[in-house]
């Protein structure tokens, strides 16, 4: 497909989203761009509005999926608008299940390089978690490599991609495989990596509750407050309070 055509489609998506009136209440005290943590421009549209725009479709939505992928890939790597990139990530929710696994996995690795915010990162997480579930021998070695990457978004993906949301996984990695990637990041200095560690531990607790609780007790002194907030979110109140007391005692030493 010629670049001139790709540019036309990118402009179509950008113009379409720009023409939608946001449902969000205007609040001068709320900075959506800052909340997302991105350098990309934001339209202010809500997630339901963005989903509706994608579902309504574009002039190229009738094309074969492989051709649509090339369009959305161009859009993802060339637009400077946060919500436009989301349209490409929405498309991959379908494409990741129908494309040749090794091809789409290697393609999506490159998409991490454009990540600068938790929202885009989380969308990619769902794609990688699906691929790990169905093709663990292909994906898990990459997660091991990402776990020690200098890029914090790769490190975040190395733990979030293990489960994503556990309720969506029919097949899960073993507890040992999950913890092997969580432990090295317990003291990671990056805020979003720590949020990822907490999310992963919370979801692991839904699958392996006793083992996860034992892990939280053993490493309570290493888990950061950022990670602990998410990791303990769904714990029984009694167990959560015990862990809080342990953490408080450790800080006094």
Percent of the chain with pLDDT over 90: 92
From the list 62, 72, 55, the residue with the least C-alpha distance to 12 is: 72
38 or 30, which is more confident? 38
Q: How confident is the model at residue 144 (pLDDT cuts 50, 70, 90)?
A: very high
253 pLDDT above the threshold of 70: no
Alpha-carbon span 16 to 136, nearest angstrom:
38
Q: How confident is the model at residue 27 (pLDDT cuts 50, 70, 90)?
A: low
Lookup: tokens for 181: 């990637």
DSSP string, 151-182: SHHHHHHHHHTTTSSGGG-SS---HHHHHHHH
Contact 45, 20 (CB under 8 A): yes
Q: How confident is the model at residue 142 (pLDDT cuts 50, 70, 90)?
A: very high
CA distances from 241 to 148, 149, 194, 211, 238 (A): 33, 34, 21, 18, 5
Choosing from 63, 95, 127, the residue where a domain stops is: 95
> What pTM, to 2 d.p., does this model score?
0.93
Q: How confident is the model at residue 109 (pLDDT cuts 50, 70, 90)?
A: very high
Q: How confident is the model at residue 3 (pLDDT cuts 50, 70, 90)?
A: very high
Contact 136, 163 (CB under 8 A): no
CA distances from 94 to 3, 99, 140, 155 (A): 24, 9, 22, 25
Tens-digit pLDDT profile for residues 182-238: 999 999 999 999 999 999 999 999 999 999 999 999 999 999 999 999 999 999 999
Residue 26 pLDDT: 64
Is position 223 within any domain?
A: yes
Contact 209, 168 (CB under 8 A): no
CB atoms within 10 A of CB 248: 10
Into how many domains does the chain fold?
2
Is position 101 within any domain?
A: no
Domain identity same for 88 and 123: no
Domain identity same for 118 and 79: no
Tens-digit pLDDT profile for residues 42-53: 998 999 999 999
Element (H, E) at 250: helix 237-252
Is position 232 within any domain?
A: yes
Domain identity same for 16 and 83: yes
Q: What is the mean pLDDT of residues 146-173?
A: 97
Domain identity same for 188 and 80: no
Q: What is the mean pLDDT of residues 117-130?
A: 97
Choosing from 64, 95, 126, the residue where a domain stops is: 95
Alpha-carbon span 76 to 173, nearest angstrom:
30
Average per-residue pLDDT for the chain: 95
Domain identity same for 181 and 248: yes
Is position 161 within any domain?
A: yes
Lookup: tokens for 141: 């070695």
Enclosing domain of residue 216: 108-253
Tens-digit pLDDT profile for residues 63-77: 999 999 999 999 999
DSSP 184: G
Is position 175 within any domain?
A: yes
Alpha-carbon span 7 to 29, nearest angstrom:
35
Could you tell me the CATH number of the domain that includes residue 160?
1.25.10.90
């Amino acid at each position: 497909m010629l670049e001139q055509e790709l540019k036309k489609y990118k402009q179509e998506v950008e113009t379409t989203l720009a023409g939608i009136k946001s449902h969000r209440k205007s609040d001068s005290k709320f900075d959506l761009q800052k909340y997302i943590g991105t350098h990309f421009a934001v339209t202010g549209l809500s997630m339901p509005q963005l989903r509706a725009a994608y579902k309504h479709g574009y002039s190229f939505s009738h094309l074969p999926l492989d051709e649509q992928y090339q369009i959305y890939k161009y859009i993802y790597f060339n637009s400077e608008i946060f919500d436009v990139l989301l349209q490409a990530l929405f498309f991959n929710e379908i494409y990741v299940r129908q494309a040749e696994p090794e091809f789409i996995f290697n393609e999506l690795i490159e998409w991490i390089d454009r990540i600068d915010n938790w929202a885009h990162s989380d969308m990619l997480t769902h794609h990688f978690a699906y691929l790990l579930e169905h093709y663990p021998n292909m994906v898990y070695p990459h997660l091991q490599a990402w776990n020690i990457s200098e890029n914090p978004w790769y490190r975040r993906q190395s733990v979030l991609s293990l489960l994503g949301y556990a309720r969506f996984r029919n097949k899960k990695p073993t507890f040992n495989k999950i913890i092997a990637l969580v432990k090295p990041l317990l003291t990671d200095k990056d805020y979003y990596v720590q949020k990822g560690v907490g999310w992963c531990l919370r979801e692991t607790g839904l699958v392996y509750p006793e083992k996860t609780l034992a892990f939280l007790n053993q490493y309570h002194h290493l888990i950061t407050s950022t990670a602990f907030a998410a990791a303990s979110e769904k714990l029984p109140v009694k167990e959560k309070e015990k862990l809080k007391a342990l953490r408080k005692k450790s800080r006094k030493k």
